[in-house]
Structure 1
Amino acid sequence: MYLLSNLFSKLQTAQRLQKTDVKVPWSTATLRFIKLLKRQHLIRQYYVQDDKNIAIECYPNTLTQIRQISKSKKRIYIPAKRIGTLGQKGHIIVLSTSYGLLTAQEARILNVGGEILCEIY
């Protein structure tokens, strides 16, 4: 969780400063989250650099806010039946499921629940 919150902070700071390039420490969790962002067309590209860092090229003004929902002391889970009630139009909810990291829309299609990690505006 610490690595993801670090990633959220770095991405939001880069967006506020209107930077398009961000470097974050490599981990399996951060790489999976970055792949999800790429799949949703929220980042332009990413590169794994020597197994220690990941360089991310962002689109300007796409990740205006990332709000962490589950935290290390309080984890929030949602069953598959309630996923249809999540989020507002234009927001992306990220879930950690048995299928990996999915958006709420993907989880609804696969009919799986999981831990709500964050909401992206």
Structure 2
Amino acid sequence: MALSDPLGDLLTRIRNGQHARKDSVVSPASKLRVRVLDVLAREGYIRGYTEAKLGNHDALRIELKYFEGQPAIHHLARVSKPGRRIYSGSRELPRVRNGLGITIVSTPKGVLSDAEARDQNVGGEVLAEVF
């Protein structure tokens, strides 16, 4: 069975893993997922990830991050969904919790956080928000 929203699946795996206090979660690999995980790692929301092989498929082992026993990610939500795509210009990118969180944006220059997209003056599809 094919996934209709692979990125939504990744975010749900991370959310569920942190709720269950797992050290790491495994997700199927894709280029978009790797780019999103790069942003999460750069911004300090996950410890990192490694690419692994599970049977015949590539997979990503995502190392979850906790601070004083609490998950580093309090809120992780998909914004642009397959049924309703959300696009934003560089000046209209949403701020999450007045700048305390990040928005992950798919731009022509790659997948970036909202701050990086503003610095490079590019907009794009608003993929997710993290706090």
Q: What is the TM-score normalised by the length of structure 2?
A: 0.85
**Identity across the alignment (%):** 29
Alignment of 1:63-74 (within 5 A): 63-74=73-84
Total equivalences in the alignment: 120
Matched, 1:79 2:89: yes
Contact (CA 8 Å) 1:97, 1:115: kept in 2 or not?
A: yes
Structure 1: gaps of 5 or more residues: none
Q: Encode CA deviations 1:44-92: one digit per residue, 9 max, x unaligned.
A: 1211012511111111211222111101111111112223x53323111
2:105 equivalent in structure 1: 95
Q: State the secondary structure of the residue aligned to 2:84.
A: coil
2:7 equivalent in structure 1: 4
Q: State the secondary structure of the residue aligned to 1:37.
A: helix
Higher helix share: 1
Q: Which 4+ runs in 1 deviate beyond 6 A? A: none
Q: Encode CA deviations 1:87-107: one digit per residue, 9 max, x unaligned.
A: 323111111100111111111
Matched, 1:57 2:63: yes
Residues of 2 paired with 1:40 and 1:32: CA distance? 13
Structure 2: gaps of 5 or more residues: none
- Residue type of the partner of 1:64? H
Contact (CA 8 Å) 2:52, 2:61: kept in 1 or not?
A: yes
1:40 equivalent in structure 2: 43
Q: What is the TM-score normalised by the length of structure 1?
A: 0.92
The CA RMSD over aligned residues, in Å, is: 1.4
Contact (CA 8 Å) 1:15, 1:64: kept in 2 or not?
A: no
Contact (CA 8 Å) 1:69, 1:117: kept in 2 or not?
A: yes
User: Does the C-alpha gap of structure 1 residues 65 and 81 become closer, same or farther in structure 2, counting only changes over 3 Å?
Assistant: closer
Contact (CA 8 Å) 2:104, 2:129: kept in 1 or not?
A: yes
